[in-house]
Structure 1
Amino acid sequence: MRSERGRRRMGRRRGHCRGAIALCDGRAGSECVVVDIEGDEAIRRRLYEMGFTPSSVVRVIASLGEGSVLVEVRGSRVGLSGSIATSVRVRSVAE
């Protein structure tokens, strides 16, 4: 089990997500920066392994309905279900 200190190192800082939206709310064609990943540790770890780390740039390619999205992260295209895309908090690159 990861300590509270370890969780904070993984992007879980208080106030860190002000102004952030869920990845599933991003518009097709927009570029976003990952600011946090919510959810249980197994989901967060898997998303980190796929390249969704704090400060990584994600491009929304398409919204597929019911929150599902197709995105490009670190040169790879990834499809995420609505429940997973909701746990990825992003901020627009334009901000």
Structure 2
Amino acid sequence: MLTLDKARPGARLRIVSMDGRGWVQRLYQMGLLPGSIVEIVSNYGAGPVVLRVMGAEVAVGRGIARRIYVEEVKES
């Protein structure tokens, strides 16, 4: 398991859990909830992490991305 800020561009990931309080509700509204499949669009090591969820691209700040735990989705 890794955090969203460490994921490489192009990776398909499943959100496992989120460590936080007030901002978690906002992420839920954006479609980022445990079990959601996301694809990393860009992650350059600075600035926001851009990801695709349910066909929409969203940007997540690096501090919040450090608190979102994900796992790689195995292609079958």
Whether TM exceeds 0.5 here: the answer is: yes
Alpha-carbon separation, structure 2, partners of 1:54 and 1:39: 13
Structure with the largest fraction of helix? 1
Aligned match of 2:7 in 26, 51, 57? 26
* Alpha carbons 2:10, 2:41 under 8 Å: kept: yes
* Alpha carbons 1:31, 1:57 under 8 Å: kept: yes
Gap change, CA 1:67 and 1:94, over 3 Å in 2 = farther
Task: Name structure 2 gaps, 5 residues minimum.
Answer: none
Structure 1 counterpart SS, 2:42? strand
* Alpha carbons 1:34, 1:54 under 8 Å: kept: yes
* Alpha carbons 2:5, 2:45 under 8 Å: kept: no
Greater C-alpha Rg: 1
Runs of 4+ more than 3 Å apart:
none
Gap change, CA 1:84 and 1:43, over 3 Å in 2 = same
Task: Name structure 1 gaps, 5 residues minimum.
Answer: 1-19
Higher relative contact order (CA 8 A, sep 6+): 2
1:43 aligned residue: 23
* Alpha carbons 2:41, 2:50 under 8 Å: kept: yes
Aligned match of 1:85 in 43, 65, 75? 65
2:32 aligned residue: 52
TM-score, structure 2 normalization: 0.89
